[in-house]
Amino acid sequence: ELEEEVKDAQNPPIRVGGAVRFQYVYADYDADNRDRAGDLDFDLVRIDFNGEINDVILAAQYRWFQYMEAVQKAYVGYNFTDHWQGQVGIINVPYGNIPYNSHNYFFSSNFYVGLEDNPESGINFQYRSKDWDWDIGFMKGDEQGGVDGFVDSRADRYAYDAVGIRLDGEGIYDAPSLQVAKSNYWAVRGARKFHFADGDKLELGLSTQIGDLHDGNDSVGDREVYGAHARFNSGPWELMGMVSRYDFDTDVANQGIVTGAYAYFDTMPSAATLYTANVAYDLPVNIGPVSALRFYDNFSLMSAKNGLEDDTFMNVLGMAVSAGGLYTYFDIVTAENHPFVGGTMGADGGQTNTRFNINFGYYF
Amino acid sequence: ELEEEVKDAQNPPIRVGGAVRFQYVYADYDADNRDRAGDLDFDLVRIDFNGEINDVILAAQYRWFQYMEAVQKAYVGYNFTDHWQGQVGIINVPYGNIPYNSHNYFFSSNFYVGLEDNPESGINFQYRSKDWDWDIGFMKGDEQGGVDGFVDSRADRYAYDAVGIRLDGEGIYDAPSLQVAKSNYWAVRGARKFHFADGDKLELGLSTQIGDLHDGNDSVGDREVYGAHARFNSGPWELMGMVSRYDFDTDVANQGIVTGAYAYFDTMPSAATLYTANVAYDLPVNIGPVSALRFYDNFSLMSAKNGLEDDTFMNVLGMAVSAGGLYTYFDIVTAENHPFVGGTMGADGGQTNTRFNINFGYYF
Amino acid sequence: ELEEEVKDAQNPPIRVGGAVRFQYVYADYDADNRDRAGDLDFDLVRIDFNGEINDVILAAQYRWFQYMEAVQKAYVGYNFTDHWQGQVGIINVPYGNIPYNSHNYFFSSNFYVGLEDNPESGINFQYRSKDWDWDIGFMKGDEQGGVDGFVDSRADRYAYDAVGIRLDGEGIYDAPSLQVAKSNYWAVRGARKFHFADGDKLELGLSTQIGDLHDGNDSVGDREVYGAHARFNSGPWELMGMVSRYDFDTDVANQGIVTGAYAYFDTMPSAATLYTANVAYDLPVNIGPVSALRFYDNFSLMSAKNGLEDDTFMNVLGMAVSAGGLYTYFDIVTAENHPFVGGTMGADGGQTNTRFNINFGYYF
């Protein structure tokens, strides 16, 4: 009888989880924020569905902000063998260091050109073994259904995507008059994982994305991305490095590519090279509810921009504090020509800005 | 002690469930969709609350799309006897074959005139026994609070409802200048269920809806609906048939009735007759995670339209695949003058369109 | 083995709960509502996250309406000692009778000036013992990030806040041309709790809020609030009383303060005194699923308005019915110059209106 009750009490196979986040911001480039000694703002409520029923996997995440709503993933999966998993739906496009090419709340600059933690609509076959990672993906479009997706705003998305071609005479933050979307592209990632006798681990990998740009009537160009990444773990230390080159080849003259995310349109150069270098150190502690600290420095540089002179960089020096379900990032962000730090990647002439940010996130 | 723990571990009496859906669409009537070889689009995230506490029932469902949000149901219920249940709130108006007059993802044409799976605000008393179904409902209005409901848009709803009277000179998809809503109407449904010795089942029923149209100041007409339905089950086979006649009698001259749903306004004739014929065949299988297949053909015809010459029809030939929590519809939709298939019920002169649609839905 | 299963079956430490509500309204001041014999409208779907992981507490609540979405709370907490809890995030500003200064669905008039159940962004340290309550809070701003918060609309919030200064020539319900927000204010509340030999309880307390008004560039004034409250419990009886005085001292001439909530802008006087008197009687019953009834009368008066002659009052005579998860308020609201009852606090000349309201709420 008790066994019956235990069975009744079993949690459902799909777990409903989520996150709640808010943050304190002090931005030296924002006079009224300084005048108030910073702001404490609501960030998001998140709902996650994860689990499997009869070997069919579900992974989905919905995010509510006070200015938009977005899906971060929504896919079904199936393990064909112990090594091969297939995924279809709104999946994370496989690229470079995964899940993140960073340790801090702001990610690396890769995120702001769509090359970190970027959901797209497509299919992916992933191979995982002790020594090798392979991802062979084909993306039909972005997470908002591409150029004619039926959505409130094409800027209401979690991760930066190309949503237009920036034409001569338009402003950096204008909504695009020539709308485009990535369409029908391949995304392939391979990585070799080395395991050393002393427990150290090294991963070296290559990634590429090649495919089409579509304006709602026809192809209007294509896009190529190449990346090489490395990750080294030794005890409490983690080192990451990555080099990426992306190139949009548009049929019409462009002043950059229009990006959309977080309810804003912005501009990025139509081609650029990005460098990332990250270091982190983990320290288990026992201070009240605090069980772990992580110290890190994450550096990104964007250079060789098509049509622009000035580089973009971002350095995030920070600490993450783990306490129960609460994971808090303390970040000192120093950046030039960088979104979310008072600048844009799509114009010359920015100045170096500093932002102190504490993001409180409760995850469950 | 273990018993205590079992009790603590009991899941809460209200179950939080949901669904995640996305779909592949190839539409022969959409040149740019064809040019991209179809699109893979996010559909929805759904959250369901179902259960009961001390015999008081809750059933609610919220749906998030990238272009709108809507409630599909939100009611409380109570079983007065073993046979009688009362429901109040946003309930499903009882009508015809329930829960669905169809087997495919697109439902039957009835859905597009508000006569299938349509939530309204009201109260319903339902009687269920082995032999009889009775539903005696009274609807105060629609799920958005009627003509003066305080909502973002009257077109942001899950199921098609009358939201206006189409006046001379307005376009088919225009927002209504003369807004109306169904108000204070009766919905009664009765069905006789026959159980044959060989296990076959037959259900024959009649439904009606009679009530008011309100423009925010006064009654501006009334509305009558009559329907007869049949359902026959024999082993793996299911057959359904239905005939419906609806008639809006408006005090002002109309060019049809404005409908609202899925963030779009559209037009339907002020009176019409709808015929539905469905057949489905269930096949249990054991192919990897796939446990069942269903093959079906669903046909709808809308004729005798007030003020229009051309009929509407839709045929959906399809297969549904059950695999764990995943239920996938593969539908070949052929239709003329039909919403969601490149046409409208409210104008003459459409052409026959074909849409191939795969809707992936994970339900839990 | 069974023990293992029990452990597996344990519910997650953060509980996902929620609420679903809808209501019937009959308003004597709304001719078309009367003409339809009232309306039955959807109210909200609510999702709650509550619990703790390793002593770190999460409390969050998200609300979806058909016209807006809002966060009601989103904070993390930690019990430093048995008596002291710290909270940071979107917290409920401590003030007066808590959690509510009322027994009915409409709260007291305090709610409509931001002095009842009002979430703000800040930090609070609360002391709770048998005899004393202390709350020492510092609010950085409101729940929408203050005057430059990145939000869809500053009126899309759960509780009334100051969002602008009403300038000469503007209408009572206009969006503010001079936007402001509460900023950097202290909120302190103390209460003494007396426990009598016969089980009766008396609480007497004082509250204050003092701080800044910010227009996005500079401070444009300050704000002071003083309150005294009392609560007496004797068996089934509860009595509450409260007096509040608030005063906005703005650097520019004002015609009142613009408030925002429930997708509407409204006006309140820049200073006023509010009186609340409540009585409630609890009656346990056993009628079908109904386990408890509560009868109440709640009276609010707003007087000594700056720049206005006419007082605001609201009386709510009502009954609440508890049945399983369903909690239903039957309220007869009689009010003059009151929001949600056909009036505004920010103008003279209103008339006495009556609204009969049944709010059905299923909470879990």
CATH for C203: 2.40.160.10
Residues of chain A positioned with their CB less than 8 A from the CB of C146: 36, 39, 41
> Is A8's pLDDT higher than 70?
no
Q: What is the distance between the alpha carbons of residues A84 and C63, in angstroms, rounded to a whole number?
A: 40
How close B354 comes to chain C (CA, Å)? 34
User: Which of B1, B45, B49 has the highest number of chain C CBs within 10 A, making it the mutation to test binding with C?
Assistant: B49
In this prediction, residue A271 carries a pLDDT of 98
Number of domains composing chain A:
1
How close C46 comes to chain A (CA, Å)? 12
Contacts of B among chains (3+ CB pairs under 8 A): A, C
Establish if A261 belongs to a structural domain: yes
Residue in C238, C65, C73 with CA at minimum distance from that of residue C152: C65
pLDDT in tens, C20-46: 999 999 999 999 999 999 999 999 999
Contact B76 C362 (CB under 8 A): yes
Instruction: Give the angle C57-C88-C193 at the CA atoms, nearest 5°.
Output: 80
Per-residue tokens: B273: 């007759």
Name residue A134's beta-bridge partners: A127, A190
Residues of chain C positioned with their CB less than 8 A from the CB of B151: 66-67
Contact C145 A42 (CB under 8 A): yes
Establish if B90 belongs to a structural domain: no
> Is A6's pLDDT higher than 90?
no
Contact B66 A151 (CB under 8 A): yes
- Between helix C2-9 and helix B2-9 the angle, nearest 10°, is 30
Contact B263 A216 (CB under 8 A): no
In the stretch 46-105 of chain C, residues with CB closer than 8 A to chain B read 47, 64, 66-68
ipTM rounded to 2 decimals: 0.95
Of C9, C16, C52, the CB nearest to A9: C9
For B143-152, C8-17, C283-292, which range has the lowest pLDDT when averaged over its residues?
A: C8-17
pLDDT in tens, A99-131: 999 999 999 999 999 999 999 999 999 999 999
Contact A154, A179 (CB under 8 A): yes
Provide the 10 A C-beta neighbour count for residue B284. Answer: 10
pLDDT in tens, C290-349: 999 999 999 999 999 999 999 999 999 999 999 999 999 999 999 999 999 999 999 999
> Is C8's pLDDT higher than 80?
no
Name residue B8's beta-bridge partners: none
In the stretch 30-49 of chain B, residues with CB closer than 8 A to chain A read 31-33, 35-42, 45, 47
Average pLDDT over residues C85-98: 98
Mean pLDDT (chain C, rounded):
96
In this prediction, residue C12 carries a pLDDT of 77
In the three-class reduction of DSSP (H, G, I as helix; E, B as strand; rest coil), residue B7 is classed as helix
Contact B24 A149 (CB under 8 A): no
Query: Which CATH number fits the domain that encloses residue B252?
Result: 2.40.160
In the stretch 121-180 of chain A, residues with CB closer than 8 A to chain C read none
pLDDT in tens, A287-318: 999 999 999 999 999 999 999 999 999 999 99
Average pLDDT over residues C231-254: 98
Tens-binned pLDDT, residue by residue, of chain B (364 aa):
666 666 666 667 899 999 999 999 999 999 999 999 999 999 999 999 999 999 999 999 999 999 999 999 999 999 999 999 999 999 999 999 999 999 999 999 999 999 999 999 999 999 999 999 999 999 999 999 999 999 999 999 999 999 999 999 999 999 999 999 999 999 999 999 999 999 999 999 999 999 999 999 999 999 999 999 999 999 999 999 999 999 999 999 999 999 999 999 999 999 999 999 999 999 999 999 999 999 999 999 999 999 999 999 999 999 999 999 999 999 999 999 999 999 999 999 999 999 999 999 999 9
> Is C199's pLDDT higher than 70?
yes
- Between helix A2-9 and helix B2-9 the angle, nearest 10°, is 30
Of B49, B144, B217, the CB nearest to C66: B144
With CA atoms as reference, the chain B residue closest to C1 would be B2
Establish if C6 belongs to a structural domain: no
For A166-180, B75-89, C1-15, which range has the lowest pLDDT when averaged over its residues?
A: C1-15
Contact of A286 with chain B, judged by CB distance below 8 Å, is answered with no
Average pLDDT over residues C252-260: 97
> Is C96's pLDDT higher than 80?
yes
Residues of chain C positioned with their CB less than 8 A from the CB of A173: none
Contact of A326 with chain C, judged by CB distance below 8 Å, is answered with yes
Residues of chain B positioned with their CB less than 8 A from the CB of A140: 24, 36, 38-40
Of B14, B145, B219, the CB nearest to C364: B14
Residues of chain B positioned with their CB less than 8 A from the CB of C3: 2
Mean pLDDT (chain A, rounded):
96
Establish if A11 belongs to a structural domain: no
Per-residue tokens: B167: 């006046």
Establish if C29 belongs to a structural domain: yes
Residue C296's Cβ-count burial label (10 Å; 0-12, 13-18, 19+) is buried
Per-residue tokens: B267: 């037009």
Contact of A6 with chain B, judged by CB distance below 8 Å, is answered with yes
In this prediction, residue A10 carries a pLDDT of 63
With CA atoms as reference, the chain B residue closest to A145 would be B41
Establish if A211 belongs to a structural domain: yes
Establish if A2 belongs to a structural domain: no
With CA atoms as reference, the chain B residue closest to A78 would be B289
Domain limits for position A321: 17-363
In this prediction, residue B6 carries a pLDDT of 65
In the stretch 186-215 of chain B, residues with CB closer than 8 A to chain C read 214
Establish if A5 belongs to a structural domain: no
